[in-house]
Structure 1
Amino acid sequence: MPLHLPKFTSRLGKAVQKYGARWALGLALTMAAFFNVEGWLHSDTIERMDTFAAGLRMRLEKPQLDPRIVIVDIDDKSLTEVGRFPWSRNVMANLVSQLTEKYQVAAVGFDVSFPEPDTSSGYDVLQKLAMGELKQVPGLDRQLERLQPQMDYDGLLAAAIKGRPVVLGYNLSGTQTKGVLPKPAFTEEVLNGRVLDAYEVAGYEANIKRLQDAAATAGIFTAMPDRDGVVRSTALLQKVGKGYYPTLSLATAAVALQARSISPLFEGTVDSLSEAQKRNGGLEAIGLFHAEGNIRIPVGEGLTTTVQFRGRGGPQGGAYRYVSATDVLKGAVPQEVLEGAIVLVGTTAPGLNDLRATPVNAEYPGVEIHANMIQSILDGSFKVRPSDAVVAEKLQVLVIGLALTLALPVLAPVWSILLSLSAAAAAAAINFHFYTAYDYVLNVAVILLLVLALFIMNVAWGYFFEVRRGRALVSRFGEYVAPELVAEMAEDPEKYNMDGESRELTVMFVDVRGFTTISEGLTPKALREYINLYLTAMSTDIRDSHRGTLDKYIGDAVMAFWGAPVAFPDHASRGVATALLMQASAHRLNDDFIKRGWPELKIGIGLNTGPMHVGDMGSQIRRAYTVMGDAVNLGSRLEGITKVYGVGICVGEMTRAAAPEFAYRELDLVRVKGKNEPVAIFEPVGLDKDIAEADRAELARWNETLALLRGQQWDQAQAAIDALDAQHPRGLYKLYTERVAHYRAHPPGPDWDGVTTFETK
């Protein structure tokens, strides 16, 4: 299809004029969102919203129970049966023995620490007594020596964990040191001059040497809440001195997998790195090397990784099986539950203060944070923000932002809502798909805010400008035109105004015959009802039936027009159809009025088509939307002429030409007062297709009769009139009978043009 450039340019210009301001504002909002993604316009609010979205994504994922990880819970039941915590080390030794010997677990990670010796057995007190007040008791020293192994609870625990896959836990904090650190995962020497961006701590509260030496290793209790106090990530390794030490989750997973080492994985050489890369030594990931291969754990700033929280946490959270510690001690847990599992020993008892605020639960067991990290390590599945995340987010902002910017101003409110919801749903779906299918974390808050901002901007614009303009339109035109026409105009109010303009329209004047006599014969109350019923019926036919514009009431007269403010190409046809309908309505009203004993109702209607001035006209005191011009004046004259010719409707020749689907009876050629040019006038009979053959034949004979009259063939014309009047008596035929008689007595002369001149209005 060829491109019509002028037409396209015109349409584009109109679109820019109408929507340009909103397009510009939408583009500004889109670019603001783009710059936020780029990092040039940072917003703490948007950052908090993305944080909330990240938590929501976790909550939306349905947890699946992972049988590989079991939490041995020091719960209220255990505290009731065993006693208050911390328990004696002999109890903990029994717990370790049960787990490692009876249940043959893959590894045991303690989310509790042992920073001080256990003296709860009372052995030290007895030893002091044996060396003091009870020194003279025979054999006491030998008896104590025999009991020492049983009362050395630290020794019992050390013996239980020695050679077993047991990982102890400890804290890093402050500058004070207590206990003994385990062997680090690696030291600065393996970095070959690289510097890792790690959290560095000088102080620690570790386990006593006897226990640490017996354990396979130990891991850090790391809970690194954000500024709002919510734990969302954890540091896999922290630095103490020259060594890098793993968290409890990483250390426990390494022991369970019998890993050879935990090592940093680098890309390139130091010399080939950029300054930004050198700040983290070019670190790519942390590698966990074991017999079946290696696991790559992506890390960010501070060697941290995002925790993927599964379930709501706790025994009812659905992600991990919890068993009571007292049931393990009694051997009451089914063998298949614990055998080969990675066990974490921790507590959910509220009084032991190991509950953390997380995105999925404000009271989340700290031990389960380690469980989530271990599961991620075992699966090699980590929620990471990919290197090209910003590119993906900028692309979404541009596509969605520009699409909504262009579309929303053009669409109707319902479609705007649907499109905005669809755009927001698409952005959320894309985000969630990458999150679940590829473990990619993409920010979505700025995109959703952009959709909301564009929608609100267009709604506000529509309200403050379009709706108010539409309301103004209703207030201006509501009394003139039909409600459905006002609604149509309100969809594009800029097309309609009250400014004066010239266009071709069809005007109508309606008047009640003999109104003075009618008013004299009715009481004021009855007259008011008479007029109200009449005007309501006429106005309804004009405004509602054929979408005419009701101009004004002039006493008992009605003025209306078609073709403005809404332009109808068939305005003449609408006017003629309305005139015929009004005559039918007047007949129905007349029947009702006669039954009430009121005077007869007859109306005359004049219609004319032609160029007119239309607009808001009047004075500073009172104005009205109306029409003016010669064509309007002729329409008024035609209404008065209906009385002369005994017809209900009289239309001008331009109306007849503009509405050819109707059949007409020509009335005369007239020269009305104020005009020199004669015009042909007609009576519309009905739709041409509905005219009966007898009526069509009558119209044809009447046209022949007019030709005889204008040819001054008086005898033949009178005979034709008599024949027509005998079949269908009409006032028109009686008028022409009188005219023939007059012309016989006073011949008009050979130059007569057949025009009747009216000297009065």
Structure 2
Amino acid sequence: MEVLAKHWSRIAVTLIPLVFALLHAMGVLPLGVLQRLDDVIYDARLRATMPRTLDDRIVIIDLDEKSLAEVGRWPWSRNHLADLTDELFDRQKAALVGFDIVFAEADDSSGLKRLRQLAQGELKDQPGFSEKVNQLQANLDYDGMFVRALTKRPVVLGYYLTSDRDGRKSGVLPEPVMDRSALNGRPIKFTSWDGFGSNLDLFAKAAPVAGFFNPMLDSDGVVRSVPLLAEHQEKYYESLSLAMFRMLAGMPVVEPVFPPERFVARSYQGLDSVRLRQKQGGAMVIPVAEGVTTLVPFRGPGGVKGGSFKYISAADIIAKRLPPETLKGKIILVGTTAPGLLDLRVTPVGADYAGVETHANLISGMLDNRIPVKPDYALGYDVAILVIAGLLLAFALPLVSAQRAVLLSIMVIAAIVALNLWAYLGAGLVLPLAAALVMATTAFALNMGYGYFVESRSKRELARKFGTYVPPELVDVMVKQGANNFSMEATSKELTVMFCDMRGFTKLSETMEPIKLQQLLNDVFNRLTDLIRGNKGTIDKYMGDCVMAFWGAPVDIPNHAYLASKTALEMANAVRKINEEYRAKGQPEIGVGIGLNTGNMSVGDMGSDIRRAYTVIGDAVNLGSRLEGLSKVYGVDIVVSESTRKMAPEFAWQELDRVRVKGKEQAVAIFWPVAPADRLEKPYLDELKTWASFLKAYRAQDWDQCDVIMLNLQRMNAKKYLYELYSDRVASMRLLPFDPSWDGATNFETK
């Protein structure tokens, strides 16, 4: 007790991370970083333990690029889908077919509708015309052909639920598998939707079993789970994978399974599992997590070459290239891997994962009874582990030497990880791990840090001898104006920030000798730095082959956006002159990418006691960095935000796009500075006006008009990469249906 009393302050410091970890685990003070770390751990654990074997029970019929090239762009005429369905059942003898597709609109591509109108209108008096139309109806009624292919066959259709279209509904929903009365008055929390997009009535009658194919996006945009059941108007509907599994099992009854009331109150909003009860007896239980969702038991990396499921091109099925009964007894999922059809998801095992394979993994997991679950008692487990490990470290670490403290901490962390991994591998339980790991690591660090900085006073005094770093620009201002005229304390100001990155530096570093590479880098940075300082810019820092600068601090500069834009143009011209010199000497050329943004930023003296710097931070700074990275996407050397452009009217600007960068919800317009406005020549002015017309048509999704204007633009400037980029975009987006909710912005998920 005397020893503990001696170290009470060190014990208290070590208990700090335990307190915060417990507050997080109990939901009192949720820490987003710990949730993200738990997601990262789950993803890594999943990838490390996937079976990576082929499940030959399930086959994916792929509407791939090959199919679109052979049959035609999507949507196909329904006669092709009828041929596909007939081939799967008649020649291939498939056991079950599920469509990860919604058939929400009638198919008028055969012209039958127009022929009927003519027969009833202007050609009704034409002898034999009506009879001929009636004769042709069987061959031209593509929807009817598809209905006949679906009727009385084991087919499950797909549809989607939505809550982002003002509750709009289209098509016909299948019969619900459960209603509110089955919950016995319990407030179970399902994913709830107020609208849907489903199949036409004639298809729903031909194939009455259907399931929704909505994924479940986590906060980081990754699909790790899907709703097993979802609520719409107090009725409960099944997912596509569950609907297919139930059809395979003979359509068992869906029942909720509640946690035992001796452990959980009736007010608890979760289910323990979903039971599939056979009418003749027997049942299967599928574990579910919060929101009646289930984790996807991914088998492998996914895709045609992923090795988890066999992919067959839909074109090969329609063309009957497979020998008969190749797919006998197989479970068939019809979906797409074509990028233009927008069914690729970000998952823990791949960034471009086909949505249809998500359903295949779930069906495979249900067949094998291999569904991982985050149990109801995960919270209690997390709290128990935190308390045991935290108290052990808090009271033991102050009493042992540094070497033993390291060993003890490693043993505690290893035990936490081993227990968590055992539960996952042995019982399929997904239990939280991040809070315990961070708590143990931080407790060790704080304990050692307290001993080093508080108890080792001599070392602390030595550390105080180190000064802080101040850039020369700030020193000059202090000398000229006096320290009382400004403060180095952090403040929020409107500034313009620049990020300039050298292109091709990585390739140069692989081919040039270190000394020559250093000379080249120093030469370029010296010239660019002179331009920045000559235009009253403050160098923030050098980061490898990137320089960061800002305008408007420490000295107020009203025209900071203009000076930054002027500097960017001068830097781009300087790099062109440098390349002329290098070509003459036989040296490799370089390029630059520059990003500019204007906005409120925190500026001041920031850092640690060891090293400090006068710098800027904030969301506007992050956007500037993102814009620099976009320069190579649009084939320009400078990308400027709209806020900077508005404050620099002295230049002529070409709008590049509206973008939504990673970490930003709001789309922003981005621009390229063409030249000073008073030096812009008439041909380029005409080109900018034509370009503005193109963007207007592009955002209106008028692709025909876009093609016409693009031809004019390419005549004006045939070598411009920007026009090639948009020409490809228009070609791709023609494949998509008109989207009234599209705001014309391009999303970028990478930094």
TM-score range, shorter chain: 0.5 to 0.7
Identity rate, percent: 41
Query: Where in structure 2 are the equivalents of 1:168-567 lying within 5 Å?
Result: 168-173=157-162, 174=165, 175-191=167-183, 196-266=188-258, 276-278=265-267, 280=269, 283-290=271-278, 293-333=282-322, 338-465=327-454, 469=458
Structure 2 partner of 1:50: 38
Structure 2 partner of 1:33: 21
Letter in 1 for 2:292: L
Deviations 1:64-93 (A, max 9, x none): 322222211111111111110111111111
Query: Where in structure 2 are the equivalents of 1:129-144 lying within 5 Å?
Result: 129-135=118-124, 137-144=126-133
Query: Secondary structure of 2:219's partner?
Result: coil
Query: Secondary structure of 2:329's partner?
Result: coil
Structure 2 partner of 1:709: none
Deviations 1:670-718 (A, max 9, x none): xxxxxxxxxxxxxxxxxxxxxxxxxxxxxxxxxxxxxxxxxxxxxxxxx
Shift in alpha-carbon separation, 1:392–1:260, aligned structure 2, 3 A? closer
Shift of 1:323: 1.6
Structure 2 partner of 1:100: 89
Deviations 1:201-255 (A, max 9, x none): 3322211111110114111121232333222322222233353211111111111
Structure 1 partner of 2:80: 91
Shift of 1:147: 1.7
- Name the CA distance, whole Å, in 1 between partners of 2:382 and 2:97: 42
Deviations 1:128-155 (A, max 9, x none): 2334454454433222212211111111
Query: Secondary structure of 2:266's partner?
Result: helix
- Name the CA distance, whole Å, in 1 between partners of 2:169 and 2:288: 28
Aligned-residue RMSD, C-alpha = 3.0
8 A contact 1:165–1:216 mirrored in 2: no
- Name the CA distance, whole Å, in 1 between partners of 2:5 and 2:238: 65
- Name the CA distance, whole Å, in 2 between partners of 1:341 and 1:411: 63
Shift in alpha-carbon separation, 1:141–1:360, aligned structure 2, 3 A? same
Shift in alpha-carbon separation, 1:441–1:275, aligned structure 2, 3 A? closer
Deviations 1:412-445 (A, max 9, x none): 5455444433432332222122112111111111
Letter in 1 for 2:43: G
Shift of 1:191: 4.9
Deviations 1:702-741 (A, max 9, x none): xxxxxxxxxxxxxxxxxxxxxxxxxxxxxxxxxxxxxxxx
Deviations 1:378-400 (A, max 9, x none): 22333222333333333322333
8 A contact 2:15–2:390 mirrored in 1: yes
Shift in alpha-carbon separation, 1:418–1:233, aligned structure 2, 3 A? same
Pairing 1:65–2:54 present: yes
Structure 2 partner of 1:23: 11
Shift in alpha-carbon separation, 1:466–1:382, aligned structure 2, 3 A? same
- Name the CA distance, whole Å, in 1 between partners of 2:227 and 2:424: 21
- Name the CA distance, whole Å, in 1 between partners of 2:368 and 2:264: 33
Query: Secondary structure of 1:357's partner?
Result: strand
Shift of 1:469: 4.4
- Name the CA distance, whole Å, in 2 between partners of 1:471 and 1:303: 54
Letter in 2 for 1:234: V
Letter in 1 for 2:298: F
- Name the CA distance, whole Å, in 1 between partners of 2:35 and 2:85: 44
Letter in 1 for 2:342: N
Query: Secondary structure of 1:344's partner?
Result: strand
- Name the CA distance, whole Å, in 2 between partners of 1:381 and 1:429: 21
Structure 2 partner of 1:166: 155
Shift of 1:371: 1.7
Structure 1 partner of 2:695: none
Query: Secondary structure of 2:312's partner?
Result: strand
Letter in 2 for 1:141: S
Deviations 1:81-127 (A, max 9, x none): 11101111111111111222222222111111111111111111222
Shift of 1:19: 4.4
8 A contact 2:289–2:376 mirrored in 1: no
Shift in alpha-carbon separation, 1:455–1:193, aligned structure 2, 3 A? closer
Letter in 1 for 2:364: Q
Shift in alpha-carbon separation, 1:297–1:401, aligned structure 2, 3 A? same
- Name the CA distance, whole Å, in 2 between partners of 1:279 and 1:400: 28
- Name the CA distance, whole Å, in 2 between partners of 1:310 and 1:18: 55
- Name the CA distance, whole Å, in 2 between partners of 1:164 and 1:119: 25
Shift of 1:465: 4.7
Count of residue pairs the alignment pairs up = 457
- Name the CA distance, whole Å, in 2 between partners of 1:338 and 1:259: 23
8 A contact 2:91–2:325 mirrored in 1: no
Letter in 2 for 1:206: S
Letter in 1 for 2:211: G
Relative contact order, higher structure (CA 8 A, sep 6+): 2
Shift in alpha-carbon separation, 1:17–1:231, aligned structure 2, 3 A? same
Deviations 1:157-200 (A, max 9, x none): 11111111101111222422222121221334555655543334
Shift in alpha-carbon separation, 1:191–1:118, aligned structure 2, 3 A? same
Shift of 1:333: 4.0
* Structure exhibiting the larger radius of gyration computed from Cα positions: 1
Shift of 1:20: 4.4
Query: Secondary structure of 2:156's partner?
Result: strand
- Name the CA distance, whole Å, in 1 between partners of 2:187 and 2:449: 54
Query: Secondary structure of 1:277's partner?
Result: coil
- Name the CA distance, whole Å, in 1 between partners of 2:424 and 2:184: 36
Segments of 5+ residues of structure 2 without an aligned counterpart are 463-751
- Name the CA distance, whole Å, in 2 between partners of 1:31 and 1:275: 25
- Name the CA distance, whole Å, in 2 between partners of 1:152 and 1:340: 30
TM-score by length of 1: 0.55
